[in-house]
Amino acid sequence: MPGDSPIGGVGLAHPAPAGLGFEIRPFESRDEKAVVALWERCQLVRAWNDPHKDIRRKLNVRPEWFLVGRLHGDLIASVMAGYDGHRGWLNYLAVDPQYRRRGFARELVNHAERLLRAAGGPKVNLQVRSLNLPVVEFYRQLGYSADDVVSLGKRLESDTPPL
């Protein structure tokens, strides 16, 4: 199973905290439908970002760092981690609304941080929409703080089909 292979000294499959039944493992292709449905429930899908294309792109670069969290076999959480050789990045952190405030996102982020640390990444960056204050608060609780930067982006490929 891909989740069983340790990389950089850090096991990818993460045993659940006792009694919780929460398992973290790398994404597998059979998870795609459930992951996209989770992102939709968590309002992470935007018209300009095709989630299926985002998954395909991630599967080309450190696919084993695209993590899903399962509770008693149901896919209820996700996070995509990346490292560009300078900074680690987190994207698509999501926990099913039904299972929030039980520490599952904290577990996922801690797991991703262990992978980044083992790969030599000195800092994690991430972007949160400015109006998404609960998520900002979540990250603050995990030791993150706002950097004094303006986040800029430039689209290199459009995901929106032409009209």
Ligand X SMILES: CC(C)(COP(=O)(O)OP(=O)(O)OC[C@H]1O[C@@H](n2cnc3c(N)ncnc32)[C@H](O)[C@@H]1OP(=O)(O)O)[C@@H](O)C(=O)NCCC(=O)NCCS
Which residues sit at the interface with ligand X, rule CB under 6 A?
42, 44, 93-95, 100-106, 128, 132, 134-135, 137-138, 141
Judged by CB, which is closer to ligand X: 42, or 119? 42
Nearest distance from C-beta of residue 134 to ligand X, angstroms? 3
Nearest distance from C-beta of residue 131 to ligand X, angstroms? 10
Inter-residue contact 109 to 65 (CB < 8 Å) = no
Judged by CB, which is closer to ligand X: 5, or 141? 141
Q: What single DSSP character describes residue 162?
A: P
Judged by CB, which is closer to ligand X: 141, or 160? 141
Judged by CB, which is closer to ligand X: 101, or 155? 101
Inter-residue contact 55 to 44 (CB < 8 Å) = no
- Rounded to whole angstroms, the Cα distance separating 38 from 74 reads 11
Nearest distance from C-beta of residue 162 to ligand X, angstroms? 28
Task: Give the residue from 69, 1, 62, 7 showing the smallest Cα distance to 35.
Answer: 69
- Rounded to whole angstroms, the Cα distance separating 101 from 134 reads 12
Nearest distance from C-beta of residue 95 to ligand X, angstroms? 4
HSE at residue 134, side-chain half, CA atoms within 13 A, is 6
